[in-house]
Structure 1
Amino acid sequence: MGKENGTGGMNQPKLGWEFFGAELRRHREAAGLTQQELGERVFVSGTYIGQFETAVRKPQLDVAQRIDVELRTDGFFERVCRELVNRSPYARYFAAVAELETSATSVYEYDPLFVPGLLQTEAYARAVFLANQPLAPEGEIAENVRMRLERARILHGAKKPFVWAVLDEAAIRRRVGGAETMAEQLRHILELATDRHVVAQVLPFSAGAPALQGMTKFMAFTDAPPVAYVEGPGTGNLLDDPATVAQCELAYDLVRAAALSPEASLALIESVAEEHANEQTA
């Protein structure tokens, strides 16, 4: 995920999502609206408004824009939202996803091309970024790798989420970064899978066409509805419409059902890791 620089402007230390939420509550109450009433006007639930006000969930830009219209705040919430997003070191389309990962209780992911970011080693991540940004300065590549590894720290924290990753067979066989990097990467997955908080499956070539056509991530939370995230070249979409999320979840379940069992998947990953290691020494 590429680095995004801030645009300057509102740099007061107090400015954060808590500030956004406190101001939202103040303006909503001044307008005489309940959370449910404001939610209906901006096409989200009243529960979402409450989560915005307590900074449990961050609104997308279009929601902030609709809030400005309904509360007649002359673009205030849009400006604050843009500033907070621009402060994130991640690409604008990924900033909210990176924040949500830190509060998710469960993360489910499928990627047809690569090992999911949370499971990547330093060498593998570097190879992915170099392939995607071959002309980028070394400092930018190094910073992107650092941020990706920083995200993965949630797997070892006190509140680590349960992670279920389905890897396409192509992702474990393609030599991203070379044989040595791949052997290390697959052994890293095997090591993570010894933790009961991480489950890895492999969707084999024999399964045919997958129900999901691209990288898809789901996140579940204790006090908020689940969200889905889909990504394409240079772009991504965070989805929170319940019907859309449910449709994506069904497709993910079909992929998971078509994959090898966790035990058979780990056996295949170990076997392919040995193949990469043997190629390295050949």
Structure 2
Amino acid sequence: MSHHRSLDLDPYTSPRAFYGSELRREREAAGYSQGQLGERAFCSGSYIGQFEAATRRPQPDLSQLFDGIFGTGEHFQRLCRLARKSKHASYFADAAELEKQAKTICEYAPMLVPGLLQTEAYARVLVSAAQRFEPEVIVEELVRTRLRRQTVLTGPTAPVLWAVLHEAVLRVRVASASVMAEQLVGIAETVRNNRRVMVQVLPFDAGADAFLNSTTINMTFVDGPPVAYTESAYTGQLIEETPLVAQYQRAYDLTKAASLSPEASLSLIESVAKDYANQ
């Protein structure tokens, strides 16, 4: 039963669950196993299983393939649009879903503290600046959504989070001195209290060794291929092509190698926090 978790899934709990049950219904009617359907749709059987069990968000390109394979017109494409509605920005929604299932999350932050490590006050400053013309209620909802993401770091299936912060993240004042101090102390406390969180700082003098220049997240999973996600202002991209994901992973490894050790990084974070607190 284990990889057919979809069998006891109520199809009416969410559009995604309905998509999964429809996919299973069409697949079984066509007489395909998950592996056989995977072969026709150029993905693995376990990936098909994740759609059927509603653990993965449906993908537009695969939905189009499913419609072609089953001769279902645009049935899966329409269900896909419904199932992909999310509280997160559309470009980040897939990455936010994958975060919950990741075994490891490796993030490089060139300028801003990663969302998983942000304090409420720091998050509010960023969201408020990015959504300059939106009403307060939208800003608050976005802040709550961002902070809810952090629950992924606690609990029995929490991933290992390895974050590399460029020194600019510490030194560039995107908020008041007191908010910056609280934020950096918050990172240090998370590192000290959560053995699954590792933070390194890439110093200004690391030079060209580290050539990642935008926010980059690499994720691995227990069953499923690794992915990368890269983001700049108001846009982001989930990358699933194996060679490109591997290239991002190598870039990340080089960036880690050019960074201060975890201990030296923690000392620097705490020392900059003190500077802010004394201002």
**What's the TM-score, normalizing by structure 2?**
0.90
Q: Give the corresponding residue for 1:171.
A: 169
CA distance in 1, matches of 2:65, 2:176: 49
Q: Give the partner amino acid of 1:199.
A: M
Q: Give the partner amino acid of 2:13.
A: K
Q: Write the mapping of 1:60-209 to structure 2, written as runs, cut at 5 A.
A: 60-86=59-85, 88-194=86-192, 195-209=194-208
Question: 3-state DSSP class of the match of 2:198?
Answer: strand
Residue deviations 1:145-199 (CA, integer Å, cap 9, x gap): 1111111122233332211100010011111211111000000000000121110
Q: Give the corresponding residue for 1:237.
A: 237
CA distance in 2, matches of 1:59, 1:85: 7
- Shift in Å at residue 108 of structure 1? 1.0
Question: 3-state DSSP class of the match of 2:90?
Answer: coil
Q: Give the corresponding residue for 2:37.
A: 38
Question: 3-state DSSP class of the match of 1:166?
Answer: strand
Greater Cα shift, 145-154 or 33-42: 33-42
Q: Write the mapping of 1:220-231 to structure 2, written as runs, cut at 5 A.
A: 220-231=220-231
Question: 3-state DSSP class of the match of 1:243?
Answer: helix
1:260 and 2:251 aligned: no
- Shift in Å at residue 225 of structure 1? 2.0
Question: 3-state DSSP class of the match of 1:217?
Answer: strand
Greater Cα shift, 191-200 or 27-36: 27-36
CA distance in 1, matches of 2:36, 2:156: 38
Say if 2:58 and 2:83, in contact at 8 Å, map to a contact too.
no
- Shift in Å at residue 102 of structure 1? 1.6
Greater Cα shift, 255-264 or 48-57: 48-57
Q: Give the partner amino acid of 1:262.
A: P
- Shift in Å at residue 13 of structure 1? 4.0
Flag structure 1 segments of 5+ consecutive residues without an equivalent.
Answer: 1-11
Q: Give the partner amino acid of 1:69.
A: G
CA distance in 1, matches of 2:218, 2:59: 17
Q: Give the partner amino acid of 1:151.
A: R
CA distance in 2, matches of 1:57, 1:170: 35
CA distance in 1, matches of 2:232, 2:78: 27
Greater Cα shift, 13-22 or 237-246: 13-22
CA distance in 1, matches of 2:89, 2:165: 24
